[in-house]
Structure 1
Amino acid sequence: MAVAGPEIERLIALLAKLPGLGPRSARRAALYLVKRREAVLEPLARALAEVGERVSVCSSCGNVDTSDPCTVCLDATRDASTLIVVEDVADLWALERAAVMRARYHVLGGTISALDGFGPEDIGIGRLVARVAEGEVGEVVLAMNATVEGQTTAHYITERLEPTGVRVSRLASGVPIGGELDYLDEGTLAAAFTQRRPFG
């Protein structure tokens, strides 16, 4: 049963679609926003509209930003000889929060998964191989989640990159089996990068 007008009910329904927010949490968040209209709701609405208009996917690495190339790719202080491969933008952001390496990135946009119908051609591995083939990259760090799909994808990438002669490494200890990078603390991520080892 609706307890508020259709506009507020629509806000609640949209908030409930966000990760980590169920119907009850969405109601609490909507009530908070409505009560703090000038301080929170209106600035949030403006920020969402601006991001909605300007957001794009970086044509170089696959990051999400308001510019193309993205802020990371435009950073001339990064080591262009090291390319960190991640499954998702959330993983890139997690690694940036941890500040473990000043390198370049490549976002696959998923993993190889027969169950979900995703093959190598669906997740940008061809684009990755093409970037490495350009010759500037000396090491590819596979910062994949420690899941079956992540490791399957990592093995496939290693095989595809073998003819290029590039060094391929993976994250070391500290990343638990089944763990996802976005949920790991910065210290664990830093240790995994410091102790990375050849893949295979």
Structure 2
Amino acid sequence: MNLVFDIVEILKVTTVLFAVIDIIGSIPVVINLKQNVGNINAFKASWVSLLIMLIFLLVGQSILEIIGITVEDFAIAGSFVLFFIALEMLLGIKIYRDDIPATASIIPLAFPLIAGTGTLTTLLSIRAEYNLLSIIIAIFFNVIIVYFVLKYITLLEKLLGVGGIAIIKKVFGIVLLALAIKLFRKYTGL
């Protein structure tokens, strides 16, 4: 287990994870979830995301191997979840239904939106390239950013306004749909 403090490596991994988590690009999805379920618990969503990422970083590959699931299978399943979230955003329909609003902070927010298949497969990939301490610190930095975005989502919603949110929701709906299709194609060979 390689535990070396390397600031340059930490910055590299933080940047990679920030791009993959894409909490800024997920603002319309978060606002949409908030509108559908009411309240989003920023602390709970961040904490659960942190736990999912750390556990998956440490034992993810082993867990998948034990239950006979490949990283490719995992990514394909995630592409379906992203696909349905994108359809909700684009078509203004409600596919995701949950009568218990408290769970929206965990599903679909913490998983698969924040700590989704892209993030988890990225963690498995960068584990081979970077030292464990750098990855863990980068995860913490990204979760702090996620927390503040979620905590101040109402302020962001006010700043963007109804029209801005509608435009961003459609644009990122297309982006999310394209990401879902890309993941599906990459891991199915289509």
TM-score by length of 1: 0.22
Q: Which is greater in Rg? A: 1
Task: Point out the structure with the larger strand share.
Answer: 1
